[in-house]
Amino acid sequence: MLKTTILGLGVCAAIASISTSMTPMATAKVPPAPWVTDICPGMWWAEGFRIGETVPLDPHQYHQAVVITETPLRAGYGFEGPVITELAVGAQVTVMGEVWDMGCNQWMVVPSDGGVAYLHGNALQNL
């Protein structure tokens, strides 16, 4: 048996009054991240990209690099990114892109078991 309930007009009017008197939450405008070249002058090859924006390479532009100084492989770019493991000198990686942090550090995007990981650009040399 289907039972329906009809609300009295008093309840409906109260609900309508509450819903029309509520003001929508203000949406915060987050300013865009600064341009890499504004923060890091002289890095013309990063023109048109923002701090924290990953710049992916086309797959045909992926390239091999070798670790030249022992370095941590990180789950996120920047020195605060959690360390996945340490890479020894001589380890080879495939560079798939890059991202810049606010300290003008270039982080290279490399494949990892969980997706991608990050290495500081100064720790690598292209092969």
Whether residue 81 is contained in a domain is answered as: yes
Q: What is the DSSP letter of 11?
A: H
Whether residue 6 is contained in a domain is answered as: no
Whether residue 57 is contained in a domain is answered as: yes
Tens digit of each residue's pLDDT (9 = 90 or more) over 56-115: 999 999 999 999 999 999 999 999 999 999 999 999 999 999 999 999 999 999 999 879
**C-alpha to C-alpha distance for 109 and 59, rounded to whole angstroms:** 13
Q: What is the pLDDT of residue 1?
A: 46
**C-alpha to C-alpha distance for 119 and 72, rounded to whole angstroms:** 7
**C-alpha to C-alpha distance for 25 and 114, rounded to whole angstroms:** 37
3-state helix, strand, coil in the chain (%, to 5): 20, 35, 45
Whether residue 25 is contained in a domain is answered as: no
**C-alpha to C-alpha distance for 19 and 93, rounded to whole angstroms:** 57
Q: Give residue 89's domain range.
A: 36-126
The total of structural domains in the chain comes to 1
Give the CATH number for residue 112: 2.30.30.40
Tens digit of each residue's pLDDT (9 = 90 or more) over 23-39: 556 677 888 899 999 99
Q: What is the pLDDT of residue 62?
A: 97
Whether residue 4 is contained in a domain is answered as: no
Whether residue 121 is contained in a domain is answered as: yes
